[in-house]
Amino acid sequence: MPWFWAFLFTQIVEIPIYMRGLRARMLEAFGATALTHPIVWFVIPEAFEWFYRAVFAHHASLQMTANTRYYVMVAIAETFAVVVEALYFRALFLEKPWRWAFIANMSSFGLGMLSRTAFGFP
Protein backbone atom coordinates (compact mmCIF):
# COMPACT_ATOMS: atom_id res chain seq x y z
CA MET A 1 0.00 0.00 0.00
CA PRO A 2 2.86 2.48 0.55
CA TRP A 3 3.65 2.27 -3.18
CA PHE A 4 0.09 3.26 -4.11
CA TRP A 5 0.21 6.40 -1.94
CA ALA A 6 3.63 7.36 -3.28
CA PHE A 7 2.38 6.78 -6.84
CA LEU A 8 -0.74 8.89 -6.20
CA PHE A 9 1.32 11.66 -4.61
CA THR A 10 3.72 11.63 -7.57
CA GLN A 11 0.87 11.83 -10.06
CA ILE A 12 -0.76 14.71 -8.16
CA VAL A 13 2.49 16.66 -8.38
CA GLU A 14 3.68 15.71 -11.87
CA ILE A 15 0.48 15.68 -13.95
CA PRO A 16 -0.18 19.43 -13.58
CA ILE A 17 3.46 20.24 -14.30
CA TYR A 18 3.41 18.21 -17.50
CA MET A 19 0.04 19.54 -18.56
CA ARG A 20 1.07 23.14 -18.02
CA GLY A 21 4.74 23.01 -19.02
CA LEU A 22 4.56 20.59 -21.93
CA ARG A 23 0.92 21.15 -22.80
CA ALA A 24 0.55 17.38 -22.50
CA ARG A 25 -2.90 15.86 -22.28
CA MET A 26 -3.84 14.30 -18.97
CA LEU A 27 -3.38 10.71 -20.16
CA GLU A 28 0.00 11.57 -21.68
CA ALA A 29 1.09 13.14 -18.40
CA PHE A 30 -0.24 10.19 -16.42
CA GLY A 31 1.52 7.75 -18.74
CA ALA A 32 4.99 9.12 -18.08
CA THR A 33 4.90 8.42 -14.37
CA ALA A 34 2.91 5.23 -14.82
CA LEU A 35 5.78 4.01 -16.98
CA THR A 36 8.64 4.88 -14.61
CA HIS A 37 7.28 4.82 -11.06
CA PRO A 38 6.93 1.03 -10.67
CA ILE A 39 10.48 0.56 -11.94
CA VAL A 40 11.81 3.30 -9.64
CA TRP A 41 9.97 1.80 -6.68
CA PHE A 42 10.34 -1.97 -7.20
CA VAL A 43 13.14 -2.73 -9.69
CA ILE A 44 15.91 -0.18 -9.17
CA PRO A 45 16.27 -0.61 -5.37
CA GLU A 46 16.54 -4.40 -5.69
CA ALA A 47 18.85 -4.23 -8.71
CA PHE A 48 21.10 -1.66 -7.08
CA GLU A 49 21.36 -3.63 -3.85
CA TRP A 50 22.16 -6.80 -5.79
CA PHE A 51 24.79 -4.97 -7.85
CA TYR A 52 26.30 -3.37 -4.75
CA ARG A 53 26.60 -6.70 -2.93
CA ALA A 54 27.97 -8.48 -6.00
CA VAL A 55 30.54 -5.86 -7.02
CA PHE A 56 31.32 -3.35 -4.27
CA ALA A 57 30.65 -5.00 -0.91
CA HIS A 58 33.65 -7.32 -1.16
CA HIS A 59 36.12 -4.46 -1.48
CA ALA A 60 36.73 -2.55 1.73
CA SER A 61 37.58 0.68 -0.09
CA LEU A 62 34.25 0.58 -2.01
CA GLN A 63 31.91 -0.20 0.86
CA MET A 64 29.13 2.28 1.58
CA THR A 65 26.97 2.83 4.62
CA ALA A 66 23.26 2.06 4.29
CA ASN A 67 22.51 5.80 4.10
CA THR A 68 25.05 6.36 1.35
CA ARG A 69 23.71 3.37 -0.60
CA TYR A 70 20.19 4.79 -0.27
CA TYR A 71 21.21 8.20 -1.63
CA VAL A 72 23.16 6.68 -4.51
CA MET A 73 20.19 4.46 -5.37
CA VAL A 74 17.82 7.45 -5.24
CA ALA A 75 20.10 9.43 -7.55
CA ILE A 76 20.13 6.54 -10.02
CA ALA A 77 16.35 6.09 -9.77
CA GLU A 78 15.58 9.77 -10.25
CA THR A 79 18.00 10.02 -13.16
CA PHE A 80 16.29 7.02 -14.73
CA ALA A 81 12.87 8.64 -14.27
CA VAL A 82 13.97 11.94 -15.82
CA VAL A 83 15.62 10.28 -18.81
CA VAL A 84 12.80 7.84 -19.58
CA GLU A 85 10.05 10.43 -19.11
CA ALA A 86 11.90 12.94 -21.29
CA LEU A 87 12.34 10.33 -24.02
CA TYR A 88 8.66 9.40 -23.69
CA PHE A 89 7.59 13.02 -24.18
CA ARG A 90 10.12 13.49 -26.98
CA ALA A 91 8.52 10.52 -28.76
CA LEU A 92 5.21 12.39 -28.42
CA PHE A 93 6.86 15.42 -30.11
CA LEU A 94 6.34 17.71 -27.12
CA GLU A 95 8.69 20.66 -26.70
CA LYS A 96 11.42 20.87 -24.07
CA PRO A 97 10.82 17.42 -22.57
CA TRP A 98 14.18 17.32 -20.75
CA ARG A 99 13.51 20.52 -18.87
CA TRP A 100 10.01 19.53 -17.83
CA ALA A 101 10.92 15.94 -16.94
CA PHE A 102 13.62 17.31 -14.65
CA ILE A 103 11.32 19.90 -13.09
CA ALA A 104 8.46 17.44 -12.58
CA ASN A 105 10.63 14.72 -11.07
CA MET A 106 12.58 17.02 -8.80
CA SER A 107 9.30 18.60 -7.66
CA SER A 108 7.67 15.29 -6.81
CA PHE A 109 10.85 14.01 -5.17
CA GLY A 110 11.43 17.18 -3.15
CA LEU A 111 7.81 17.59 -2.09
CA GLY A 112 7.60 13.88 -1.31
CA MET A 113 10.64 14.02 0.96
CA LEU A 114 9.36 17.19 2.60
CA SER A 115 5.95 15.62 3.16
CA ARG A 116 7.50 12.43 4.53
CA THR A 117 9.64 14.43 6.94
CA ALA A 118 6.80 16.69 8.08
CA PHE A 119 3.86 14.28 8.05
CA GLY A 120 5.25 10.77 7.63
CA PHE A 121 3.48 10.55 4.28
CA PRO A 122 3.85 9.22 1.60
CA distance 41 to 118: 21
18 residue type, one letter: Y
CA distance 86 to 65: 32
Calculate what percentage of the chain has a pLDDT beyond 70. Answer: 100
Q: CB burial class (10 A; 0-12, 13-18, 19+) of residue 27?
A: exposed
Mean pLDDT for 35-51 is 97
Residues 6+ apart with CB under 8 A from 40: 77, 78, 80, 81
What mean pLDDT is reported for the chain? 95
pLDDT digits (tens, 9 = 90+) for 61-72: 888 899 999 999
The answer to whether the beta carbons of residues 103 and 21 sit under 8 Å apart is yes
pLDDT digits (tens, 9 = 90+) for 77-119: 999 999 999 999 999 999 999 999 999 999 999 999 999 999 9
Domain definitions of the chain by residue range: 2-119
Give the model's pLDDT for residue 62: 82
Give the model's pLDDT for residue 102: 98
Give the model's pLDDT for residue 63: 87
Give the model's pLDDT for residue 72: 95
SS3 63: coil
